[in-house]
Amino acid sequence: MSIPEYELRRSMRRTLSIEINREAKLIVHAPLQMPVGQIEAFLAAHTAWIAEKQEKAKAKLARMPALSEDEIVALKEKALAVLSEKTAYYAAKMGVTYTHIGITSAKGRFGSCSAKGSINYSFRLMLYPEETWDYIVVHELCHLRHFDHSPAFWQMVETYLPDYKKRAALLK
């Protein structure tokens, strides 16, 4: 098999790793002094894995619609309205307080929570089933009590959404 096309990123790291990004591009992370021959031998040994992961990434990319600016604006407005309401509802139910809700264009995460209580949601969440919206809201609100993914965090998520695993699976 031939070695797939890749982007090489060298750094002070000690190990070699490969990554398939959202656009199905192969990125190789390598130590500064590692010979190219050693890198390419590693890639040759993993061509089947690389091809499988790239196909999955391409399929996921194909499922995501290309959005116009007007569609993005509409989704952001919908996200702010819907997620603000859901956040207020669950925060009251859970006895937590937040300081701000923001809507982002993040592609890699659906939500985030700062140590100061600010919660951000990606407008892209609106492209997924409604059950996932509640999961992301509860997930972020639980971070106001547990700023990690400890067993206590997941127990709190399960307390408010017993079927959270099924909902989270819809985001995959």
Quick one: fold of 69-169? Zincin-like (3.30.2010)
Question: How far apart (Å, rounded) are the C-alpha atoms in residues 123 and 14?
Answer: 38
Question: How far apart (Å, rounded) are the C-alpha atoms in residues 149 and 44?
Answer: 36
Give the number of other CB atoms < 10 A from CB of residue 57. Answer: 17
**pLDDT digit string (tens) for the chain, length 172 residues:** 688 899 999 999 999 999 998 889 999 999 999 999 999 999 999 999 999 999 988 888 777 778 899 999 999 999 999 999 999 999 999 999 999 999 999 987 999 999 999 999 999 999 999 999 999 999 999 999 999 999 999 999 999 999 999 999 998 8
* Residue in 97, 136, 135, 129 with CA at minimum distance from that of residue 116: 97
| Residue spans per domain, the chain | 7-63, 69-169
